Amino acid sequence: MNLTLHVWRQKNSRSEGRFETYQAKDIIPDMSFLEMLDVVNQELIMKGEEPIAFEHDCREGICGSCGMVINGYPHGGQKGTTACQLHMRHYKDGDTITIEPWRARAFPVLKDLIVDRSAFDRIIQSGGFISATTGVAQDANTVLVPKSNADAAMDAAACIGCGACVAACPNASAMLFTAAKISHLGLLPQGQPERYARVVQMVEQMDKEGFGGCTNIGECSAACPKEISLDVIARMNRDLLVATIKGGK
């Protein structure tokens, strides 16, 4: 396969970016999207040019660091798929592909396709934890958890924090991410002592970071590679309402 790539290039957060055009030649259909970029970067290096900077780690759809917008869709638009698990067989010989970073004020571009997602870290630091006594761990069956709650908590905990929800949302909202982190703790007994303080603190931090508001468009859930449900946002809003009545305690 031979492809034409329009790639966003930006030296750093202070410089202006622009699209540059590259040719991806002799691409094997079974390559992943990132392997295709590796091939293009090898060609650039051989020519003495600056390779395209993009973030990656596990390349197994687990860490979420590979996030980029491909032809207008976060992670490329394949349902339940991260960019590193997107394969070139989904494209045709001669296709033109546009690749750019997440677009959100709270995710400033660091270089090319890499953005600063530390805003997510600060949201988690503000309340995404539980307090537990130290010492010998309790037996697993000491605290009973209804299966429906356990299943819902596991579904919410599947969030990998990639930021696709923010990139897909026309408001650049982080509600799906924040709600997933709040829900997976709030559904379990261990998360109850700080349940309402947690939702207040994390939502406040989310707003401080400059993310937009949620208008229930649903693009966030559709773009999520782990298919996190909008139900977590409804659950978070209910907890936030209760917390407001209780005074955040």
3 beta partners = 24
3-state secondary structure of 149: helix
State mean pLDDT over 3-25.
97
Q: What is the pLDDT of residue 249?
A: 56
Q: pLDDT grade, residue 17 (50/70/90)?
A: very high
**40 and 24 in contact (C-beta within 8 Å)?**
yes
- Per-residue pLDDT at 28 exceeds 60: yes
Write down all domains in the chain, each with its CATH number in brackets: 3-110 (3.10.20.30), 118-246 (1.10.1060.10)
73 beta partners = 70
**20 and 6 in contact (C-beta within 8 Å)?**
yes
CA dist., res. 110 & res. 8, Å (int): 12
CA dist., res. 232 & res. 183, Å (int): 6
CA dist., res. 189 & res. 88, Å (int): 44
pLDDT digits (tens, 9 = 90+) for 181-219: 999 999 999 999 999 999 999 999 999 999 999 999 999
Q: What is the pLDDT of residue 137?
A: 75
- Per-residue pLDDT at 155 exceeds 90: yes
Amino acid at 30: D
State mean pLDDT over 169-187.
97
φ and ψ at residue 203, rounded to 5 degrees:
-70, -40
Give me Rg for the CA atoms of the chain. 20
CA dist., res. 7 & res. 18, Å (int): 8
Q: What is the pLDDT of residue 12?
A: 94
Q: pLDDT grade, residue 57 (50/70/90)?
A: very high
Instruction: Tell which wins on pLDDT, 249 or 237.
Output: 237
pLDDT digits (tens, 9 = 90+) for 93-114: 999 999 999 999 999 999 999 9
Chain-wide mean pLDDT for the chain? 95
- Say what the pTM is: 0.93
User: What is the torsion angle, in degrees rounded to the nearest 10, for the CA atoms of residue 19, residue 6, residue 174 and residue 171?
Assistant: 70
